[in-house]
Amino acid sequence: MEQSPGLAIRPKGAKEAVDGFRGLASPLALEASWLCPVAIGKSRLPVRVKRRGEKLFLEGSAMGVDHSGRRVRQMFGQIAWRYDFLNHLLSFGVDYRWRQQVVCRVPPRPGVPILDICTGTADLALAYWRAGGGKVPVVGVDFCRPMLHQAWQKCRRCGATGIRLLEADAAALPFGSNLFQIVCVAFGLRNVQVPERALEEMVRVCRPGGWVVILEFSMPRPGLLRTLYRWYFRWILPRIGQALAPNQFEAYHYLPTSVGEFPPEAYWTEQMAAAGLQHVSAQPLTFGIATLYVGQKLS
Ligand SMILES: C[S@@+](CC[C@H](N)C(=O)[O-])C[C@H]1O[C@@H](n2cnc3c(N)ncnc32)[C@H](O)[C@@H]1O
């Protein structure tokens, strides 16, 4: 397997825990240091950073140790190589349109950087990068290295060299406050152990007047479509997913379960307002299969 620079990705990395990385700071991490007032370690020595009364340890990458996220990280690590293919197949390609709708709803402005958390294979980061004509700096963060490796390869194929990728936990973003014009996440918040914490972080790093954008699966309103959707989600999708991307975590069973457990719209709009966002809205997409949440940080 070809390696992304500085990332010690093993050929069978998708099946192995990536928690134990203790190498030199990855260039991916260093590349992002231009917007990171928090110094990212350049040596093997741990860098201790105090922020908001907490201690965040950065060692070799910008990711704090989060044992609770290990399972999610390993699960995505195992399916990373098939993630894009299955995403587009199982959604009948509609996921492209949803990301496009995000970009149209909250378009980029020149100059100020954009952050995509839980970036996975960087589809939303790429959508923003294209919408900005390749001139707006875009940063993608994820805590799963095999997903970042796929992202890196895809960005390179697309010539999107302006996208910076960084290994970091969404619940402890290694950026200073008030930096990004848009902070977005697509289908990621549901996977974070404490999604409210990630939302707080999104708001913190967003500039006053900037936008926080969340695209997430949801349940269509009761009716025939919902019945069909549930049947597909519960019986068909997990089988196809497991057959095409075998993994020990049953990732495509986890998908409908996690969507079912994700709190409804009203909860999230309330959380967004409580986190310091105004003009909060939730727009159902494709009969409510996905929902686009948008809010503007108070100036
Ligand atoms: C379903 S994928 C979504 C990827 C991409 N945003 C998309 O639209 O296809 C969820 C991603 O969130 C990442 N993730 C989950 N929890 C995370 C956390 N606490 N910090 C950073 N990334 C996380 C996973 O590694 C995975 O790549």
**Does residue 202 lie in a domain region?**
yes
Q: Tell me: the pLDDT tens digits for 204-213?
A: 999 999 999 9
Domain for residue 229, yes or no? Answer: no
Q: In whole angstroms, what is the distance from residue 203 CA to residue 160 CA?
A: 26
pLDDT band (50, 70, 90) for residue 196:
very high
Distances (CA, A) of 206 to 93, 154, 181: 30, 26, 6
Structure tokens at 286: 């494709």
CA 80 – ligand 1 centroid, Å? 11
Distance 256 CA to ligand 1 centre (A): 16
Q: Is residue 112 part of a domain?
A: yes
Domain that holds residue 180: 68-220+252-297
Q: Is 180 in the pocket of ligand 1 (CB under 6 A)?
A: no
Res. 238 pLDDT band, cuts 50 70 90:
confident
Please give the pLDDT value at position 9.
28
Tell me, using a 6 A CB cutoff, whether residue 217 lines ligand 1. Answer: no
Among 217, 214, 178, 181, which Cα is nearest to 196's?
214
Q: Does the residue 126 lie in any domain?
A: yes
Q: How confident is the model at residue 68 (pLDDT cuts 50, 70, 90)?
A: low
| Residue 268 forms part of a structural domain | yes
114-117 and 180-186 as β-strands: parallel, antiparallel, unpaired? parallel
- Nearest atom of ligand 1 to the alpha carbon of 144: 25
C-alpha pair distances (Å), 59 with each of 54, 55, 74: 16, 13, 20
Is the distance from the beta carbon of residue 78 to the nearest atom of ligand 1 less than 6 Å? no
Does any ligand 1 atom lie closer than 6 A to the CB of residue 124?
A: yes
Give the best-scoring range by mean pLDDT among 34-38, 52-56, 60-64, 103-107: 103-107
The gap from C-alpha 139 to its chain's centroid, in whole angstroms, comes to 11
Q: Report residue 46: phi and psi, to 5°.
A: -65, 145
Residue 129 in domain = yes
Whether ligand 1 lies within 6 angstroms of the CB of 120 is answered as yes
User: φ and ψ at 36, to 5 degrees?
Assistant: -115, 100
- Kindly tell me if the per-residue pLDDT of 16 is higher than 50: no
pLDDT in the model for residue 100: 97
Q: How confident is the model at residue 2 (pLDDT cuts 50, 70, 90)?
A: very low
Q: What is the per-residue pLDDT for 221?
A: 87
Is 192 close to ligand 1, i.e. is its CB under 6 Å away?
yes
Using one digit for the tens of pLDDT, what is the confidence trace for 263-298? 999 999 999 999 999 999 999 999 999 999 999 999
Please check the confidence at residue 56 and state whether its pLDDT lies above 80: no
β-bridge mates for residue 158, sequence order:
none
Asked whether 123 lines ligand 1 (CB < 6 A), one says yes
Please, where are the H alpha helices in the chain?
27-31, 70-90, 94-105, 123-131, 145-157, 195-205, 224-231, 237-244, 251-261, 265-274
Dihedral sign (CA 27, 32, 34, 37)? negative
Average pLDDT, the chain: 79
State whether the beta carbon of 186 lies less than 6 angstroms from ligand 1: yes
Residue 2 burial class via C-beta count within 10 angstroms: exposed 0-12, middle 13-18, buried 19 and up: exposed
Helix (H, G, I), strand (E, B) or coil at 107: coil
In a domain, 240, yes or no: no
Six-digit token pair at 133?
């004509």
CATH number, domain of 202, equals 3.40.50.150
Q: From ligand 1's centre to the CA of 42, what distance in Å?
A: 26
Ligand 1: centre distance to CA 116 (Å): 10
Confidence of residue 53 (pLDDT cuts 50, 70, 90): very low
* Number of domains making up the chain: 1
Which tokens is 61 given?
């990458």
Given this model, what pLDDT does residue 64 score?
37
How far, in whole angstroms, is CA 157 from its chain's centroid?
20
Distance 119 CA to ligand 1 centre (A): 6
Q: What is the pLDDT of residue 59?
A: 26
- Does the beta carbon of 56 lie inside 6 Å of ligand 1? no
Q: Which atom of ligand 1 is nearest to the CA of 73?
A: 25
Quickly count: other Cβ atoms within 10 Å of residue 17's Cβ. 11
227 versus 13: the higher-pLDDT residue is 227
Bigger pLDDT: 50 vs 251:
251
Domain presence at residue 133: yes
Q: pLDDT at residue 38 above 60? A: no
Question: Number of C-alpha atoms within 13 angstroms, CB side, residue 172?
Answer: 23
> 245 versus 4: which is more confidently predicted?
245
Mean pLDDT of 111-140: 97
pLDDT of amino acid 162:
86
How many separate helices (H) and strands (E) can be counted in the chain?
10, 9
Q: Answer with the residue of higher pLDDT: 231 or 282.
A: 282
Q: What is the pLDDT of residues 134-167, one digit of tens each?
A: 999 999 999 999 999 999 999 999 999 889 999 9
Buried b / exposed e along 208-240 (16+ C-beta atoms within 10 A): eebbbbbbbbbbbeeeeeeeebeeebeeebbee
